[in-house]
Amino acid sequence: MAKTTPPVKLHEQIQLTVAKIRQNGMGIAWADEKQTYPVYLADAMLDEVVEVEIIQVDKLSAYGRIVSWVKKHPKRIDANRQYLIEAGTAPLVNWAYSAQKDWKQSLVKENFADAGLEVSVAEPVTMEEAVPSYYRNKTVVPVKWQNGHLLSGFYQRGTHELVPMEDYFVNDRRLDEVIVTVRNILEEWQISAYDPDEEKGAIRYIMVRRGHYSKELMVVLVSNEATLPKRDQVVAAIKEALPDLTSLILNKAPKKDYVQLSADNETLYGRDQIEDSLLGKRFLIGPNSFYQVNPVMTEKLYQTAADLAQLKKTDLVVDAYAGIGTIGMSVADRVKQVIGVEVVPGAVFDAQKNLAINGIENASYRLADAPKQFVSWQAEGVRPDVVFVDPPRRGLTKELIEKTALMAPDRVVYVSCNPKTAARDCALFQEVGYAIMGPVVPVDQFPQTAHIETVTVLAKKR
């Protein structure tokens, strides 16, 4: 086998033209005439000509760092926040927002075209601010002792070096303040933090959630160890420093288990959950609850999904991947009945509590794997008018799509956080008798990042 020599060398400086923007917001420039060897670039925009230093090389691709711009994109701005590019938390921060919207719309269209689907894609639904920022109601931040201080921030790519950060730009400002306050208290009391090199230490992350409307505040100390050192002193100090604290939780998540948060929570102060509202409905939110992180845009997302579904008072709605019941409960007053299914026990328990606090009597949630539950419902003669699906980034399984088609709903409303898997799944829905109805609607839940939500409605072919 012939030895392959990469066309670039480590630390070489070359001039490249940005040919494409990847799904994750990074640029691609080709280092060879045949366009077979990509160089990946952060902070790049389409068609820019850039001077690049090669910082990582392998046989198939390389990573480069932009040293200077020979030709800039006309919609490039300087947000003066280069640390967000390095962290990867806001890769589009130097794009004018109009450029972010245009790219996300074109990305959705490209993803669907790649799946063999020619669709129209609507203008993205967006926040009203000219520069959307400071919107997240949840953040999870690593901490580490370095040079005699406890730092919070981000790990530099490919290293165990924690780079300090105090302004994340996309978090509710109060979250950033709370992270710093709690970190400083942990430092004052000399609480150990998990060190990935030594593989020991207590605190791995500080997680903060805050109700957008309620302003209730939850702090979660995610620990590698089962107990919090100097517990009484630390709890007292956090309570004193945070007058708006509603809930303080110790989440026991040993690094060896390879989960960010475990299901093992101990309430150190206050309530086990906080409460917030969404489209007029109240929701209890725990440390492990899946709850959309941009509350303003979540209301627009669910309103868009409900409107596109053309719901009627006679409709039976299935809420798959129901979580704590946010989608189903948000449409319950528009339809005859909502039946939901969720595989996570804690989420079903929370959904049932959320039904009770809202006095909703025409909805129910059960613990089951969705495809199996769909088979049971079909056997029982359940025929839904509308099925809502809102899966994680990996999308739906082929089994779920097939079982959905067997129940023969009139309409399927697909809410997705990953247009690539949404397009793949919509192509599979076409194979089992469903066609996309109207335009795919992007909803920009995550400005300054490469992520985009979509709402797609599929109707049963007649």
E strand map for 147-211: 149-155, 162-164, 203-210
E strand map for 301-379: 316-320, 337-342, 363-367
DSSP letter assigned to residue 200: B
Q: Counting every residue, how long is the chain?
A: 462
Which H or E element spans position 246? strand 245-252
- Distance, in Å, from the CA atom of 183 to the CA atom of 193, rounded to the nearest integer, reads 10
* Cβ atoms of 310 and 304 closer than 8 Å: no
End-to-end CA distance of the chain: 55
- In the set 278, 301, 363, 417, the catalytic residue is 417
- Distance, in Å, from the CA atom of 389 to the CA atom of 318, rounded to the nearest integer, reads 9
Strand partners, 219: 208, 248
Instruction: Tell me, yes or no, if 417 is annotated catalytic.
Output: yes
Percent helix, strand, coil in the chain (nearest 5)? Answer: 25, 30, 40
Q: How distant, in Å, are the alpha carbons of 25, 55, 92, 110, 397 from that of 20?
A: 10, 20, 14, 12, 29
103-104-107 Cα angle (round to 5): 85
- Distance, in Å, from the CA atom of 390 to the CA atom of 447, rounded to the nearest integer, reads 20
**Catalytic residue numbers, as ranges:** 417
